[in-house]
Structure 1
Amino acid sequence: MRNSLAHILALALKEFLALLRDKRSRIVIIVPPIVQLFVFGFAASYDLNEVPVAVYDEDRGGAARELLARIEGSPNFSVLQHIGSDAEIAPLIDGRRVLLVVHLGPRFSADLARGETAPLQVIIDGRNSNTAMTALNYLRSLVLDFNRAWQQAQGQTGPPVKLQMRAWYNENLQSQWFIVPGIVGSLMLVVTLLVTALSVAREREQGTFDQLLVTPLRPVEILIGKAIPGMVIGLLEATLIVALMTWFFDIPLRGSIPALYLGILLFLLATVGIGLMISAIALTQQQAILGAFLFIVPAVILSGFTTPIANMPEPVQWLTYLDPLRYFLVIVRGVTLEGDGFALLFHQFWPMALIGAITLAMAGWLFRHRMY
């Protein structure tokens, strides 16, 4: 028993010494956790500040101005635009310029003055159900405060303002409709990145990498050969997850399926490029796995998978443009919930293609300089 404990402690000490003697391992152990601490501390937040709001006030009476003053004075809302017709609502929601539209009818103040219940319509973007529910809770609290103040001032009973909600794209605000499409990208990222990141490191450990170098294959051919398995595996997994998403979870596919698969291929191209860069740098499988997960965790956090990008500090928002998962989540959620096609998703396609081209070029450069 005593000998076994001594052997375990000696092995643990050896592993610690091996990590501390390796300069790359020391950097990986110390620097990334500190960087991630600051990034996640700013980026990962479920609170909403300055939610973009448009106001459609057909009443313009005293009660309407009082309620709107409460909304404008709240730190949770930012009134960006006052509109004058129903036709202006759809472009604001479709273009993601506002999260919700507050509509006060022409008899809002008159109904309150007579002691009747006045409806307050709220049209909200339901694509992100978590954000929508949080914003609705903020607005519901404001309406309750307004009701209490109005009752005290007028000596009335019963709720004077009744909130009527209408959600677009995700009518019942089902969280699965928002989360499950995002899982498609997250799982593809994990599987594809690990497959490609381990490819060269595994051969280095097994001693077969030197044999690969003496073959007639050029570095670019080796690069392509290493990229194909990751893309094929990722494509098959994406197909399986999309099928389960529609059949098992009953999530609609309202948009163009060819546009979705073009997004999948471009996302796989970018992910494979990043994985091959990690694989070219890593000398062991342990370093490759650690490098892959050090990219995966920030990529998921910064993609908008759980928390809205608009709620992150501006420097962190700029950092998200380097994350291919950010663009793919817009594509998969646009196809499933919004019915998007090629034209509407073009601005998500080309950034992933650019990231894939740059990362594959960098991986090829690293292969050429580390092979010989």
Structure 2
Amino acid sequence: MVEGIPYTVLFTALGIGGNVLMHGYLGYPMHANIGWMFLTTILYVLAYQALGVLIIGITPVLRDGVTLAAFYGLLGFTFAGFTFPIEQMPYPAQIFSFLFPIRYYFKIYVNQALNGLDIGYSIGFMLSLVAFLVLPLFVFVRIKKAAIYQNFPIK
């Protein structure tokens, strides 16, 4: 798993750099402590990396994993509430939106940066991001066997 550390550092630096650029240099509103947004960015990056490990673990071929990840990523923007409020979506779509870490990141961003709410209102969303970190445990044995025995199926 050490191979993923450079990506974690890179994407976290990009996220934190984006926050610093937006809220520091460009003057976007930040009505709370920016440190909470930094922590949220770290959790967000780790949550999506955990999902990546899960997707690679459940798909037998890398090509299928990349296709599934692209499909999942596209739906993430739809179900995050960026363009259409989640509360106005049909109930099944509201339930489906809970499967995307970007939803929780967006909720924390709105609570902290835009509304300036106490961090207590965002802790539940942060814990939801942490919950994504257990997903790789479900495919750990399969990935370990594939790495040890080099049994990567080819279609």
Residue among 125, 132, 140 paired with 1:355: 132
Q: Using a 3 Å threshold, how does the CA distance of structure 1 residues 316 and 255 change in structure 2: closer, same or farther?
A: same
**2:84 counterpart of 1:299:** no
3-state SS of paired residue (2:122): helix
Partners of 2:108 and 2:125 within 8 A in 1: yes
Query: How far apart, CA to CA, are the structure 1 residues paired with 2:69 and 2:6?
Result: 17
Q: What is the correspondence of 1:1-372 to structure 2 with a 5 Å cutoff?
A: 224-280=1-57, 281=59, 283-284=61-62, 286-357=63-134, 359-371=135-147, 372=149
Matched letter for residue 361 of structure 1:
L
Q: Shift in Å at residue 247 of structure 1?
A: 4.2
Q: CA offsets, 1:32-82, max 9 Å, x none?
A: xxxxxxxxxxxxxxxxxxxxxxxxxxxxxxxxxxxxxxxxxxxxxxxxxxx
Higher relative contact order (CA 8 A, sep 6+): 2
Query: How far apart, CA to CA, are the structure 1 residues paired with 2:24 and 2:34?
Result: 15
Query: How far apart, CA to CA, are the structure 2 residues paired with 1:229 and 1:288?
Result: 21
Q: Which runs of 5+ in 1 are unaligned?
A: 1-223
Query: How far apart, CA to CA, are the structure 1 residues paired with 2:70 and 2:61?
Result: 16
Partners of 2:30 and 2:114 within 8 A in 1: yes
Query: How far apart, CA to CA, are the structure 2 residues paired with 1:289 and 1:231?
Result: 19
Q: Shift in Å at residue 250 of structure 1?
A: 2.3
Q: Using a 3 Å threshold, how does the CA distance of structure 1 residues 240 and 234 change in structure 2: closer, same or farther?
A: same
Query: How far apart, CA to CA, are the structure 2 residues paired with 1:287 and 1:239?
Result: 31
Bigger fraction of residues in helix: 2
Q: Shift in Å at residue 238 of structure 1?
A: 0.5
Q: Shift in Å at residue 248 of structure 1?
A: 5.0
Q: CA RMSD in A?
A: 2.0
Matched letter for residue 72 of structure 2:
F
Query: How far apart, CA to CA, are the structure 2 residues paired with 1:345 and 1:312?
Result: 22
Matched letter for residue 312 of structure 1:
M
Q: CA offsets, 1:110-144, max 9 Å, x none?
A: xxxxxxxxxxxxxxxxxxxxxxxxxxxxxxxxxxx
3-state SS of paired residue (2:30): coil
Give me the identity figure in percent: 21
Q: Shift in Å at residue 366 of structure 1?
A: 3.1
Deviates more, 1:239-248 or 1:292-301: 239-248
Matched letter for residue 61 of structure 2:
L
Q: Shift in Å at residue 365 of structure 1?
A: 3.1
Report the structure number with the largest CA radius of gyration: 1
Query: How far apart, CA to CA, are the structure 2 residues paired with 1:312 and 1:354?
Result: 24
Q: Shift in Å at residue 287 of structure 1?
A: 3.9
3-state SS of paired residue (1:237): helix
Partners of 2:32 and 2:117 within 8 A in 1: yes
Tell me the matched-pair count: 147
Q: Shift in Å at residue 266 of structure 1?
A: 1.7
Matched letter for residue 75 of structure 2:
P
Q: Using a 3 Å threshold, how does the CA distance of structure 1 residues 266 and 363 change in structure 2: closer, same or farther?
A: farther
Partners of 1:234 and 1:268 within 8 A in 2: yes
Query: How far apart, CA to CA, are the structure 2 residues paired with 1:295 and 1:308?
Result: 19
Query: How far apart, CA to CA, are the structure 2 residues paired with 1:341 and 1:263?
Result: 15
Q: Using a 3 Å threshold, how does the CA distance of structure 1 residues 282 and 299 change in structure 2: closer, same or farther?
A: farther
Matched letter for residue 270 of structure 1:
A
Q: Report the TM-score when normalising by structure 2.
A: 0.82
Matched letter for residue 366 of structure 1:
R
Q: Report the TM-score when normalising by structure 1.
A: 0.37
Q: Shift in Å at residue 362 of structure 1?
A: 2.5
Q: Shift in Å at residue 282 of structure 1?
A: 5.5
User: What residue is the counterpart of 1:214 in the other structure?
Assistant: none
Query: How far apart, CA to CA, are the structure 1 residues paired with 2:118 and 2:3?
Result: 31
Q: Shift in Å at residue 316 of structure 1?
A: 1.2
Query: How far apart, CA to CA, are the structure 1 residues paired with 2:66 and 2:92?
Result: 28
Partners of 1:322 and 1:355 within 8 A in 2: no
